[in-house]
Structure 1
Amino acid sequence: MEVLLTGVTEFKYGTQAKVYLSVILDYGEKKIVTFKLSKHNNNELVRESVSQIEDRIKVTKTLIHSNRGFQYPSHSFKHFADEHQVIQSMSRVGKCVF
């Protein structure tokens, strides 16, 4: 729980349906620590993902790295990072996290 990678992926299914998967991967353990599925790609999807790991965060030691998807530079995510003293890191534009 020191270096976490996160992102949202879109999956298409059926003829016109989509689902969005928000994942948080513990880079050190090489395992997924939480995920959330939703029909909507929004800040709430990411907020619900990170809320599942709140009690496992190592204050001032956990780094969470993401792409520059609109959810991660949002006020909501910044508030989460500040409140839990998480170090926030983002990739350059066009560079994938995973």
Structure 2
Amino acid sequence: MYTLEFTKSSLKELKRIDKSYQAFLIDSLEKFVQNFSLQYEADLMSMGKIKKLQGQKEEFYRLKLRSYRVIYKKYNEKLLIFVIHITTREGAYK
């Protein structure tokens, strides 16, 4: 099973979000981590919910949660999903 960790900056971003959306994002991320497997990830990719980001040296992924985008990185050896950035769609591509 994977665990979920946040960068300091992603926690700051999360705290700036409206409380109702905070709860939604946290619940969604917890469910994402609990259900995470390669097949689950492939299913979400085929539905357009997850996309591997291009032009990065490291492998980052974008997860769509309503109007928010969560940028994360997987560490398979630690079974860890590390949240890098949480922002609205408009802010994700700046």
Q: Same fold (TM over 0.5)?
A: no
**Normalising by the residue count of structure 1, what TM-score does the alignment of the two structures yield?**
0.25
Greater strand share, 1 or 2? 1
Structure index of larger Rg: 1
- Higher RCO structure (Cα 8 Å, ≥6 apart): 2
